Amino acid sequence: MEPALQALLGVLLRYVNSLILILAATFVGVFLADVLFSTGLHGKVGRPLRPLLRSAKLPEELSIPMITGVIDSRAEHAMVSSLARGGALSHGEVVCYSLTSLPFGGTRLIVQYVLPVAIAGLGPLLGATYVALSILGLFIGMAMGLIGGRILLAGRRRSLDLKDGAQGGRVDVKRSLLKAASMAKGVGLRYAVVVVALSILVYLGAFDHLRALSTPLARALLVSPEALPIAATYAVNSTAAILMAGEALREGLVAWRDALAALFVGRVIFAVVSEFPRHSFPFYVSMYQPRLAVKLTLALILYTLVSTPLLVLIVKSLPWPE
């Protein structure tokens, strides 16, 4: 079997699994949100997050998807998308919310998937430092969301118009199920269209050409020559890059500051050439209207470009010996 066809089949298999998970999470998320909003329980469940949302000028009802994001980001965005499609949320509110909520779901993912590899590859101290700085990057995104909300949404703090909910605090289970099923169907159809387009690009080798840009891009971002392979490897496989950084440190081939800086720069390269075009945008465009999906993707790109230089600067200024 030719390599291009093998790559295509691999991509299709991953996207089929993703589609099943997205459909399930969308159905459950929209159903749960509808029940909570209909009964008024959202006010009690999300009370601890009200000050944060008020600071960003965001509706307090968004505390429910924010809490849900700690468990599953797909269900979280299904809730937000349902509100946006119903006209309860503006594009600006969705974008500011997506940045403000980054630490909630993002911290769990870093602890679950990055922490074990970082500790094993870089050692306890350096691995924990890398993870802590990665989580700090999420809070930089939150700060951007808070600032953006106070600037873009000034004077717009309000409660959501949820008039389509059940009256009298009663749950219309049939209505909630139909709403969840309709949302899941729409998401599934849009995701399938995106997968077909991405599969064609993979077969044509478009993303291989993007990866070829990783080395000059890393050089442009001032990665040291010794650490350049780490940044370039991250563009292809993050786990391999962390393990490579650990081996290079043990062999004395690279300083720890350069190794950590290269990992963070590698994240930028990976995001630009793979994460955003192959994962983030397809996910957003399956959930949201295309224009809003573009805005959300651009917000993530901006967050990545702002947070990475700050994290590299922090790495370079840490008062530890080489």
* Stretch 134-144: mean pLDDT: 96
The span from the CA of 139 to the CA of 123, in Å, is 24
Q: What percent of the chain has pLDDT over 90?
A: 20
Residue 64 near residue 36 (C-beta atoms within 8 A): yes
Average pLDDT, whole number, for the chain?
Answer: 77
**Among 4-8, 31-35, 285-289, which is the least confidently predicted range?**
4-8
Residue 184 near residue 30 (C-beta atoms within 8 A): yes
Q: 179: Cβ–Cβ under 8 A, 6 or more apart, which residues?
A: 30, 31, 34, 82
Question: Is residue 239 scored above 90 in pLDDT?
Answer: no
* Stretch 158-173: mean pLDDT: 53
Band (140; pLDDT cuts 50, 70, 90): very high
* Stretch 312-319: mean pLDDT: 88
* Stretch 164-169: mean pLDDT: 46
Closest CA to 246 of 125, 134, 113, 137: 125
